[in-house]
């Protein structure tokens, strides 16, 4: 017999989420996650994927992954510190360091794992972390796990950051102080003010940590937000994922050799979780090689992003303050945002609604993610659907 207390808790809270328009339904994709996807037998223009450069279905990545299954098998077989470190993992980390312009890099099983691993390996209860209020959930969880004092900083507010850094240093309470920020904020698409953050960090001797999950492959001609500002030698931690623009799965931290050495002996997901598969490692390496060889996919991404932004703005949608391909259509009311997303689906466009707790209450939206793989014809069709549904619902 299962727990009645658990059943009551689950039933009451799931019902509550549904009534408030905060319940998220999962739509399984039948086949590859490309510029068009199939859900329940219906073909849709896909504007909800993080597959920025279309590499998740790239033939070159598929080919090397197939070959390495024959040469190395389907699994790493152990954690990295026993004998799960394959030659392919070393090659990936060397390529990541070259890509990011750092001395070394360490790879993990996911971007979320990176933030859980790296923050708690360096920061502890005697330290403080200055964290942007819109930082990703994985940063928040990583900060909590460290047990450091978390000092919330107003979003991209440099005066607030400077004041709180000054107060933290002058208090004398902390051994180390870190400032941590997303490079690109995933819900609004704005870019962190890294030059100002680095300037403040140098003034107060802060450790700098940039989560570049949505910047790698996108900014800096593909090398990321830190490279975009030319600050590779000024940022202590460059963290990113291999599952968005890179198109595969996993995450990494790039930085000085002594930092990477420390993470290899003290970050728990590295020590206690089996390494990513051989196919994932080699496909990620191939993707990074492609980005280092050519900016063609990056340029196509930006061309499509600017095209979609202009089209949505022209017909009257509020796309916020985005400076990157991430293009929100901000609706406000959560139920309206979910209804809008469902109508887009019915008309052949898959653009998922994003509501609290992913974004603040009252800022419900549909987030669009144009990629290098979309054609102008697909984007024109999507814009036409947005106009039709937007007018029908009185949103534009």
Q: Decide if 244 is catalytic.
A: yes
Q: Distance between CA 273 and CA 261 in Å, rounded?
A: 18
Question: What is the chain's mean pLDDT, rounded?
Answer: 96
pLDDT at 23: 84
**Residue 127 corresponds to which tokens in the numbers above?**
């330290």
By DSSP bridging, strand 251-255 and strand 104-108 are antiparallel
Q: Where are the domains of the chain?
A: 20-49+295-392, 59-293
pLDDT band with cut points at 50, 70 and 90 for residue 1: confident
Q: Decide if 374 is catalytic.
A: no
**pLDDT, tens digit (0-9, with 9 covering 90-100), for 43-101:** 999 999 999 999 999 999 999 999 999 999 999 999 999 999 999 999 999 999 999 99
Q: Distance between CA 129 and CA 146 in Å, rounded?
A: 10
Long-range contacts of 358-362 (CB under 8 A, 24+ apart): 358/187, 359/187, 361/334, 362/332, 362/333, 362/334
pLDDT at 285: 98
**pLDDT, tens digit (0-9, with 9 covering 90-100), for 181-195:** 999 999 999 999 999
Lay out the sheet containing 327-332: strands in order across: 327-332, 364-368, 353-354
Q: Which residue in 149, 164, 244, 352 is the catalytic one?
A: 244
**pLDDT, tens digit (0-9, with 9 covering 90-100), for 290-304:** 999 999 999 999 999
- In sequence order, what are the residues at sequence separation of 6 or more whose Cβ sits closer than 8 angstroms to the Cβ of residue 167? none
**pLDDT, tens digit (0-9, with 9 covering 90-100), for 338-383:** 999 999 999 999 999 998 888 888 999 999 999 999 999 999 999 9
**pLDDT, tens digit (0-9, with 9 covering 90-100), for 235-280:** 999 999 999 999 999 999 999 999 999 999 999 999 999 999 999 9
pLDDT at 360: 87
Residue 387 reports pLDDT greater than 90: yes
Hey, do 20-49+295-392 and 59-293 end up sharing a CATH topology, with the first three levels equal?
no
The domain defined by 59-293 folds into 3.40.640
Q: Which residue in 89, 136, 214, 374 is the catalytic one?
A: 214
CATH class of domain segment(s) 20-49+295-392? alpha beta
The percent of residues in the chain predicted with pLDDT above 90, rounded, is 94
Q: Decide if 176 is catalytic.
A: no
Q: Which residue in 186, 216, 243, 267 is the catalytic one?
A: 186
């Amino acid at each position: 017999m299962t727990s009645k207390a658990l059943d009551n808790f689950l039933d009451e809270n799931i019902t509550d989420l549904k009534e408030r328009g905060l319940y998220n339904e999962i739509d399984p994709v039948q086949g590859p996650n490309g510029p068009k996807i199939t859900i329940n037998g219906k073909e849709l223009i896909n504007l909800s994927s993080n597959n920025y450069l279309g590499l998740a279905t790239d033939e070159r990545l598929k080919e090397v992954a197939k070959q390495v299954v024959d040469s190395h098998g389907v699994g790493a077989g152990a954690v990295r510190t026993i004998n799960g470190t394959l030659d392919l993992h070393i090659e990936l980390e060397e390529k990541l360091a070259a890509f990011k312009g750092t001395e070394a890099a360490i790879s993990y099983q996911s971007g979320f794992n990176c933030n859980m691993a790296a923050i708690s390996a360096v920061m502890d209860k005697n330290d403080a972390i200055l964290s942007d209020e819109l930082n990703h959930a994985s940063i928040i969880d990583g900060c909590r796990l460290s047990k450091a004092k978390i000092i919330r900083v107003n979003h991209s507010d440099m005066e607030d950051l400077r004041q709180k850094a000054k107060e933290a240093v002058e208090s004398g309470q902390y051994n180390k102080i870190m400032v941590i920020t997303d490079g690109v904020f995933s819900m609004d698409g704005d870019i962190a003010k890294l030059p100002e953050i680095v300037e403040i960090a140098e003034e107060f001797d802060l450790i700098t940590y940039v989560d570049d999950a949505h910047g790698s492959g996108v900014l800096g001609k593909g090398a990321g937000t830190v490279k975009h500002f030319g600050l590779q030698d000024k940022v202590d931690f460059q963290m990113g994922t291999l599952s968005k623009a890179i198109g595969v799965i996993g995450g990494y931290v790039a930085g000085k050799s002594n930092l990477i050495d420390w993470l290899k002996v003290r970050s728990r997901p590295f020590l206690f979780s089996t390494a990513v598969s051989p196919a994932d490692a080699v496909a990620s390496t191939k993707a990074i090689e492609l980005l280092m060889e050519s900016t063609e996919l990056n340029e196509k991404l930006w061309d499509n992003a600017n095209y979609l932004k202009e089209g949505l703005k022209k017909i009257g949608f509020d796309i916020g303050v985005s400076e990157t391909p991430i293009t929100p259509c901000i609706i406000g009311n959560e139920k309206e945002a979910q209804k809008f997303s469902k109508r887009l689906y019915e008309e052949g466009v898959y653009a998922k609604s994003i509501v609290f707790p992913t974004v603040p209450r009252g800022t419900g939206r549909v987030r669009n993610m144009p990629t290098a793989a979309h054609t102008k014809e697909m984007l024109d069709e999507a814009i036409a659907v947005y106009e039709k549904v937007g007018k029908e619902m009185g949103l534009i």
